[in-house]
Amino acid sequence: MSPRKRITMHDHAAEASLFKRRALFTFVCVILMVSILLGNLYHLQVTSFNDYTTRSDDNRIRVLPLPPSRGLIYDRHGVLLAENQPFYSLELVPESVKDIPGTIDGLAAIIDISEDEKEDFTKSLKHHRRFKPLTLKARLTEEEVAIFSVNQHKFPGVEVEAGLKRYYPYGSTLTHALGYVGRINSRDRESLERSGDWSDYAGTKFIGKQGIEKFYEPVLHGKPGHLEEEVNNRGRTIRTLKVSEPEPGQDIYLTIDLKLQQKAQELLDGRRGSIVAIDPRDGGILALASSPSYDPNQFVHGISAKAYSALLNNRSRPLINRATQGQYAPASTVKPIMALLGLEEGTVTEKTRIWDPGFWQIPGVDHKYRDWKRWGHGWVDVYHSIIDSCDTYFYDMAYKLGINKISEFMTQFGFGQPTNVDIYEEASGIMPSRDWKRARYNQPWWIGDTISVGIGQGYWTTTPLQLAAATAIVANKGRRFSPHLMKAVTQNDGTLKTPVDEMPPVVLKDPRNWDIINDAMQQTAHKSRFTDAKYTAAMKTGTAQVFSVAQDAKYDAENIDERLKDNALIVAYAPYETPRIVLAVVLENAGWGGANAGPVARAMLDEYILRDTKEPTKE
């Protein structure tokens, strides 16, 4: 008997329902996925159209910054002092070079690359962003450029960059006035970013570091432009789409008289010292010489570590601007202003005379303050106190006046405070007072301190520029102008002169006292260095001690160290009737002021007053 077959019953209604649910789920999934796809397409094509178009253009369009050409600098007569010259530099992009030491050795085989340049490059590489080009050799000759061009295919990641570099045709003559430009470093960048000016330096590698170049950086730099290029997928240029020209920096004219500046450097002849000349009619600086100096051109593309170390460790400190940063005891050059104070306060009159036996003593004290003339000057009035530079007269005057009156009066002439000249490298000097000594040394002020200040010694220090500015006030009989180097700046609508900054005058109780002091200075000049001059002049010399001599000791210039010898100083102006130039000369460790600084002042005034027609010479 055969087994029975099993009969399966199908529930067609249930199966149909299951199929419908699965079909519906699948349909919903398909609809959802299509919606997501359409949503993404909408986002790409509509919502983010501008964004992706820009990204696409960024891959297709390259924007290159165009640095502006730096403004030129001229002297007061239009002689070019700072210009721009074309240059070529060898640049290396670290991330594009597989074997940097090998590449450098290969380049050195065809181009002269010094060991210092290799060493500087290696040091800079440690702190440099690898995707940015780094200079290996700053100055290439045209021959070296040609040699590299032939061999460039051997050195991927290395290329020659062309540009304009700053050049100073008169070398060390104007270094401390002009300053120099140098490569932008991290400190410069941080400063520009803080001020919000970093975007203005796109494509720019150089910035003012010292002097006029730094002070007027915003004027000289200009505004960058840009170049838009279409490139292919290999980065090669297909065509230029747009050029936005950079705005060049403005040219500026200085008050400097180049011929007078050259004369000052010639007279200093490498000796340590400074010469400052000012036009008292407006405060324009005619000469600002500091010696020894250095060639600023070596800083433009980066001075080598060895050369910079030599300048930095030089005992004569050529990097210091002695005209504005050198601080010296003014010595007898301030005696005319001291005498002016004595007349103003009634401490002395035009006819007051004192007896000078060669020394002066504080009443009741045995210590003797010696006059430079050991046997004394005899009877001395205010005129002869200046003409003969009688120390005893001013010891007595300082004792009677007191430090408070001296300090207050001298501050009006700019001592102890910056002149606010338009360069950043300036010292304030010291105009001592009771409060100053207490704050500086936590010590009381002694009467002996006042006696030393009375002859421009002791704690009192000044810069040559301050000394010239103070003398200009005397020559102007109270009118004051802020010393400045800027004369004019070129703009789109022509050349704009810088306004003269006249400050509140020094007002005397009796204006005739100006005449007394100026007359004494004129007699001083007539009796010494300007006896045979073709013009009238006024002057006062000074001899400043660098170290103190014991009470009974004698200053022996022949047997002391050269750097302990006295500083020689002189202030002068001419013509006496209508002053056009005021001078301050400081020669370090030169000895007697009249014998050493005097001839320098005479030569400077002759150069300016008795102008010749010789053209300035380039170094």
Q: Which residues are annotated as a binding site?
A: 356, 371, 377, 390
- Written as six digits, the tokens of 534 are 């073709």
Q: Are 360 and 396 in contact (CB under 8 A)?
A: yes
Gyration radius of the chain's alpha carbons: 37
Candidate list 89, 290, 332, 385, residue with the active-site label: 332
CA distances from 394 to 188, 238, 534 (A): 50, 82, 32
Question: What's the full length of the chain, in residues?
Answer: 619
Q: Which residues contact 368 (CB under 8 A, 6 or more apart)?
A: 359, 360, 361, 551
Annotated binding site for Zn(2+): 356, 371, 377, 390
Nearest Cα to 340, choosing from 417, 397, 280, 387?
A: 397
How many CA atoms lie within 13 Å of 332's alpha carbon, on the beta-carbon side? Answer: 29
Is 332 among the residues known to form the active site?
A: yes
Q: Which residues contact 450 (CB under 8 A, 6 or more apart)?
A: 398, 399, 401, 402, 403, 406
* φ/ψ (deg, to 5) at 546: -90, -25
- Looking up tokens 């010469």, which residue turns up? 275
* Cα–chain center distance at 334: 28
User: How many C-beta neighbours within 10 Å does residue 451 have?
Assistant: 23
Three-class DSSP labels, 361-419 = ECCCCCCEEECCCCCCCEEECHHHHHHCCCHHHHHHHHHHHCHHHHHHHHHCCCCCCCC
β-bridge mates for residue 355, sequence order? 379
Q: How far apart are CA 242 and CA 246, in angstroms?
A: 13
Q: How far apart are CA 485 and CA 278, in angstroms?
A: 10
**What dihedral angle (degrees, nearest 10) is formed by the CA atoms of 445, 449, 450, 452?**
-170
**What dihedral angle (degrees, nearest 10) is formed by the CA atoms of 298, 304, 307, 308?**
90
Q: Which amino acid is at 282?
A: D
Residue 16's region, left for phi above 0, alpha for psi from -120 to 50, else beta, is alpha
Nearest Cα to 369, choosing from 458, 444, 459?
A: 458
> Among all residues, which ones are annotated catalytic?
332
